[in-house]
Structure 1
């Protein structure tokens, strides 16, 4: 049954979540918090922690948001797994995309449950402008959503839509 649905892509979810967690563990061990380390022009490693959600929204004192946000993330994970379970196995691009988003969600969920916060460490900047600091789970979610949109643009079957 599992091989005839999008659930066959759960291995990719595991890979994404594992890479995310390994990267965070390695950088927590090696980087001083809140001090940028240049990697490339316009790219730093900058170890930070976010108790809120995207762009530090809901990052409030007291940590009350840990469990409500963890429960919300669990609901999202359940919805994504349900989507994969209902998806035909021939929807490879869509299934891989959802699995990638799911891996990112699981990576950040692990942080939130274990640490009460999400570890972020990638800072992209230009001059004095800096994008929000993020992690590989966030990047996976972004790439996965972009692939879901691409699948939609291709008509869900690898062909571009007529008149598009």
Structure 2
């Protein structure tokens, strides 16, 4: 049975952990997933995965071989997180429009736009000192039923 997960991830230890830490982690996890304690298929699979991972790193020599092979592996794809789209700030002479944030992650957004996108942020803003000037509008928007988000259209 071949397992693709990283041995350190399976054993829930840091790759630079001391050998005794790895051994202790294996023993704790093995006690949790041992077939005598839990005979479910998921537990049996987890125990097999633990045994495989521990076999790869249980001695200093095996661990060195595993670490060298691990270094040669290509890195896993990184998760790319993009921020919310920000509307262009208005070009009025007064700086920011009434009801438009001029701070934080929603700079340039109106309170009503934020109510559609992130009502939890509005609840927080209503309690925070930086939201005092928007409190009446926030409370009004939070009392109204939420507007459905606009669907994204493919071009």
Q: TM-score w.r.t. structure 1 length? A: 0.30
Greater RCO, CA 8 A, separation 6+: 1
Going by fraction, where is strand more abundant, 1 or 2? 1
Going by fraction, where is helix more abundant, 1 or 2? 1
Return the index of the structure with the highest Cα Rg.
2
Q: TM-score w.r.t. structure 2 length? A: 0.31
